[in-house]
């Protein structure tokens, strides 16, 4: 009983083990399948990650290369450098075999290759190649700003683009804009006919934008450089012009100063001729003066190098009408002699008239080698010098005429003075006899009782006779005194005078006269006044004349004042005596003339006192003889005569 039961149990265990082993095998198979699938997924993920990393690395490399290209482009302002950098870097950056840059020249209706780079050094260069714009389909598409991709082989002859026809492969042609206008195109070639991806096109477009900026900057830099060159050229030209103008003005000023410093005609012409000949470097220069009445031209001065001078040569104006008619009309001209001069040979000559508003005075001639032409600046300089010569000559002639007039006036003045001196001497004795006769007749008539009453007409006529006789005697004495002072025939009797004690006594005779004429008279003398060394008679005569004039011309109720003080403002210390009267005023225009002989201010004597106009002239001569000075000062309602006297 026990054996059957044991076997059954063993069989069941074996069966269970088989099932378990089968289950384990199935489970292992499933697990291996899952592991294989997971491993495949991990491999795919790793591959994708590796691809992403590779793409990222490529992107980084491209970005670095792009930044390098952009930086290189931006750091240069030279288009050749920019183009060379761009084409070289594009070959490496985009795996291109050839890169070129074409420029569109609308004025010439062509496209010109301005940059070309090929990795194959044996390939022919396309630099400088031109492509016509007319009938060019690719050019038309570029003008529409279209990005063009061309894939063909060299044997494809249907393309209209000569550049694409030259080499087989895949072309990428991108338009290049500068300032919104089509400037040209960037052309890239892959000879292996690899297609151009969108990422490649985007990268190229980015570089093209930077290239456009570089072209614009380079163009602006070129324009600035050209402007600088033009400006520098203008500055140099202007500087040269200013230097020429400065030299011209300096030469003209030098000649003008030399000419105007002289009042002698010969010296004026000599200075002008020498300066012109040296400044212009001519072989000969001369100046002539015309005598219109005689019809002659006389060379007054000539500067010549290596040939005999012609100074003093006289030419008849009528013998050379073709020359002197133009000069007399004020025209300048230059010409070359047809016939050789025996001494000068064949020469070039320039003639310029010396003229002013009153007509032609003469001419200036310049002679040089036959091949020489007098330019505008030479002509202008000669004209200016001729004008200055005309002014100087006219001034010299006016001066000579004025000098002749002055000499004639001096001669007449001497004759007048001699006449007055002679007449005065001749009249003095008769007037003295007349005065004596009047005096004796007055005594006789008074003894006869003819002047018993003041109303007697005979007494009135006698007073007029005595006053007029004395007036004539005073006039004769003044004339003789002036003549003596002019000739300095009399000697001074100098003495030291204290004005503090002398001046009141000298004024005292005029106090009663001023009182009778209802005028005020006052004296003011400084406390400490130094003595003066003078001729007392001259000083008394001077003060008497000034006080006499003050009493004559001071209105009723006005004031006369005499003062004496030290003048500290003058260069040499002096004593100043002032005679001032109010109520009258001498115009400033008359200040210098009132000391002239026989001059009287018009309409300045409403009281009809009369006078000869010799009083102030005599006063001035007396003061100058005392080595002093006198002048007049005026202000509204007041006149002051100021006398300066040297101290002892």
pLDDT digits (tens, 9 = 90+) for 107-133: 999 999 988 888 888 888 888 889 998
Residue 154 confidence (pLDDT): 46
The neighbour count for residue 136, using CB atoms within 10 Å, is 18
514 shares its domain with 424? no
Kind and range of the H or E element at 582?
A: strand 574-582
CB 36 within 8 A of CB 44: no
Residue 341 confidence (pLDDT): 64
* The pTM of the whole model exceeds 0.75: no
CA angle 162, 166, 172 (to 5 degrees): 75
**Model confidence over 144-189: pLDDT tens digits?**
999 998 876 444 333 335 555 556 788 899 999 988 889 999 898 8
**Which of residues 197, 225, 253 is at a domain's end?**
225
Residue 43 lies in a domain: yes
CB 72 within 8 A of CB 85: yes
479 shares its domain with 511? no
Alpha-carbon span 122 to 357, nearest angstrom: 86
425 shares its domain with 356? yes
282 shares its domain with 416? yes
Which of 344-348, 389-393, 631-635 bottoms out in mean pLDDT, i.e. has the lowest? 344-348
pLDDT higher at 23 or 572: 23
13 shares its domain with 130? no
Residue written as token pair 């931006």: 74
Pairing of strands 559-567, 520-525: parallel
**Average confidence (pLDDT) over 574-589:** 85
CB 530 within 8 A of CB 646: no
**Average confidence (pLDDT) over 207-213:** 84
217 shares its domain with 281? no
% the chain with pLDDT above 70: 82
Alpha-carbon span 233 to 72, nearest angstrom: 33
Number of domains in the chain: 4
The candidate with the shortest Cα–Cα distance to 327, out of 299, 359, 375, 367, is 359
Alpha-carbon span 315 to 450, nearest angstrom: 89
**Average confidence (pLDDT) over 467-482:** 72
pLDDT higher at 608 or 320: 320
Residue 208 confidence (pLDDT): 85
pLDDT higher at 560 or 82: 560
CB 521 within 8 A of CB 506: no
Which of 59-63, 259-263, 553-557 bottoms out in mean pLDDT, i.e. has the lowest? 59-63
608 shares its domain with 472? no
Residue 201 lies in a domain: yes
Q: Which domain holds residue 338?
A: 261-490
**Average confidence (pLDDT) over 575-585:** 87
Tell me, what CATH number does 163's domain have?
3.30.450.40
Residue 2: pLDDT over 50: no
Helix H, strand E, coil C: the string for 116-135 is EEECCCCCCCCCCCEEECCC
Residue 455 confidence (pLDDT): 64
Residue written as token pair 């002197």: 324
CB 276 within 8 A of CB 270: no
Structure tokens at 184: 């040209």
Q: How confident is the model at residue 247 (pLDDT cuts 50, 70, 90)?
A: confident
**Average confidence (pLDDT) over 13-36:** 79
201 shares its domain with 280? no
339 shares its domain with 480? yes
Residue 6 confidence (pLDDT): 58
**Model confidence over 409-431: pLDDT tens digits?**
888 877 776 766 666 666 667 77
Which of 138-147, 456-465, 626-635 bottoms out in mean pLDDT, i.e. has the lowest? 456-465
294 shares its domain with 371? yes
Q: How far is CA 603 from CA 418, 550, 554, 608, in A?
A: 31, 17, 15, 10
Structure tokens at 270: 């000599």
Residue 256 lies in a domain: no
Strand order in the sheet with 333-336: 314-316, 296-304, 284-291, 359-369, 347-356, 333-336
286 shares its domain with 358? yes
**Which of residues 172, 207, 225 is at a domain's end?**
225
Tell me, what CATH number does 563's domain have?
3.30.565.10
476 shares its domain with 511? no
**Average confidence (pLDDT) over 486-506:** 80
**Which of residues 56, 75, 94 is at a domain's end?**
75
């Amino acid at each position: 009983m026990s054996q059957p039961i044991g076997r059954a149990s063993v069989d069941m265990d074996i069966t269970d083990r088989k099932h378990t082993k089968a289950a384990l095998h199935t489970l292992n198979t499933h697990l291996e399948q899952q592991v294989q699938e997971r491993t495949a997924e991990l491999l795919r993920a790793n591959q994708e990650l590796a691809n992403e990393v590779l793409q990222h690395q490529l992107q980084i490399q491209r970005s670095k290369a792009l930044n390098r290209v952009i930086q290189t482009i931006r750091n240069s302002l030279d288009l050749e450098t920019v183009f060379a950098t761009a084409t070289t870097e594009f070959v490496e950056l985009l795996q291109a075999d050839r890169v070129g840059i074409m420029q569109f020249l609308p004025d010439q209706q062509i496209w010109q290759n301005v940059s070309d780079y090929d990795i194959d050094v044996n390939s022919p260069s396309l630099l400088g190649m031109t492509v016509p714009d007319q009938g060019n389909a690719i050019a038309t598409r570029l003008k529409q700003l279209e990005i063009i991709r061309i894939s063909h082989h060299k044997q494809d002859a249907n393309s209209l683009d000569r550049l694409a026809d030259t080499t087989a492969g895949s072309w990428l042609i991108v338009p290049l804009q500068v300032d919104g206008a089509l400037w040209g195109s960037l052309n890239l070639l892959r000879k292996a006919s690899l297609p151009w991806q969108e990422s490649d096109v985007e990268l190229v477009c980015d570089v093209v934008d930077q290239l456009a900026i570089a072209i614009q900057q380079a163009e602006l830099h070129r324009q600035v450089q050209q402007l600088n060159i033009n400006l520098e050229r203008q500055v140099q030209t202007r500087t040269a012009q200013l230097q020429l103008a400065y030299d011209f003005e300096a030469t003209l000023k030098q000649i003008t100063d030399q000419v105007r410093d002289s009042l002698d005609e010969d010296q004026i012409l000599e200075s002008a001729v020498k300066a012109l000949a040296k400044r212009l470097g001519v072989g000969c220069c001369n100046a002539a003066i015309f005598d219109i009445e005689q019809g002659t031209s006389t060379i007054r001065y000539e500067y010549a190098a290596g040939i005999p001078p012609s100074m003093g040569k006289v030419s008849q104006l009528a013998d050379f009408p073709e020359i002197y008619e133009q000069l007399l009309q004020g025209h300048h001209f230059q010409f070359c002699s047809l016939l050789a001069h025996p001494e000068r040979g064949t020469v070039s000559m320039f003639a310029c008239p010396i003229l002013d508003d009153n007509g032609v005075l003469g001419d200036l001639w310049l002679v040089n080698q036959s091949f020489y032409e007098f330019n505008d600046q030479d002509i202008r300089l000669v004209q200016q010098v001729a004008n200055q010569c005309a002014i100087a000559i006219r001034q010299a002639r006016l001066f000579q005429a004025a000098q002749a007039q002055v000499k004639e006036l001096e001669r007449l003045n001497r004759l007048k003075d001699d006449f007055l001196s002679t007449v005065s001497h001749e009249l003095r004795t008769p007037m003295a006899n007349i005065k004596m006769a009047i005096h004796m007749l007055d005594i006789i008539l008074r003894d006869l009782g003819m002047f018993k009453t003041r109303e007697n007409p005979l007494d009135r006529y006698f007073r007029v006779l005595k006053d007029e006789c004395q007036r004539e005697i005073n006039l004769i004495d003044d004339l003789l005194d002036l003549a003596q002072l002019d000739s300095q025939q009399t000697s001074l009797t100098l003495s030291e005078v204290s004005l503090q004690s002398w001046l009141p006594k000298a004024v005292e005779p005029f106090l009663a006269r001023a009182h009778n004429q209802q005028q005020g008279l006052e004296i003011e003398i400084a406390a400490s006044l130094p003595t003066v060394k003078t001729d007392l008679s001259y000083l008394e005569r001077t003060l008497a004349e000034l006080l006499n004039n003050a009493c004559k011309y001071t209105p009723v109720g006005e004031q006369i004042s005499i003062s004496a003080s030290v003048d500290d403002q003058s260069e040499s210390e002096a004593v100043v005596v002032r005679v001032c009267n109010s109520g009258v005023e001498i115009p400033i225009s008359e200040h210098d003339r009132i000391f002239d002989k026989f001059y009287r201010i018009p309409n300045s004597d409403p009281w009809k006192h009369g006078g000869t106009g010799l009083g102030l002239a005599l006063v001035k001569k007396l003061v100058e003889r005392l080595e002093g000075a006198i002048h007049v000062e005026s202000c509204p309602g007041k006149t002051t005569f100021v006398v300066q006297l040297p101290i002892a």
